[in-house]
Structure 1
């Protein structure tokens, strides 16, 4: 099992280097526009990601090649 990549009780803002592990600013913007990717909050012009939401999204996107057979 993958350890949690993000701190559950932390909020991450666009520009935080930790977010680069899942995508750059442009990729995250595309996902938000398409209503894909991790859950987020829009606070005015700020985008905020909760660490617990990021960890849930990472876990939900796990691919196990042995299950593909």
Structure 2
């Protein structure tokens, strides 16, 4: 008998992450190529994001002003938005 997977152990598909973040899938693809986005898992041709990793990455993006946004490594990159 399998125990239920906790929410933080859930793996999300690329489209689910894009929808959750309100971003185009192309932005996630660009971040995977150039860096700066959340960590991901490559399983064959599939890409998955662990919910816990995504939540951690998102928390690291928290800013109290627009001046603090320059501290993020992907600032200024073309994100296809």
Tell me the TM-score normalized by structure 2: 0.64
Provide Cα deviations, 1:4-33, integer angstroms capped at 9, x if missing partner. xxx4121001222x5323222100000000
Q: Greater RCO between the two (CA within 8 Å, min separation 6)?
A: 1
Deviation at 1:38, TM superposition (A): 0.2
- 5+ unaligned residues in a row in structure 1: which ranges? 1-6
Aligned residues: 60
CA RMSD, Structure 1 to Structure 2 (Å): 1.8
More helix by share: 2
Q: TM-score, normalised by structure 1?
A: 0.74
Unpaired runs of 5+ in structure 2? 1-6, 69-81
Runs of 4+ in structure 1 deviating by more than 4 angstroms, as ranges, are none
Confirm whether residue 21 of structure 1 aligns to residue 20 of structure 2: yes
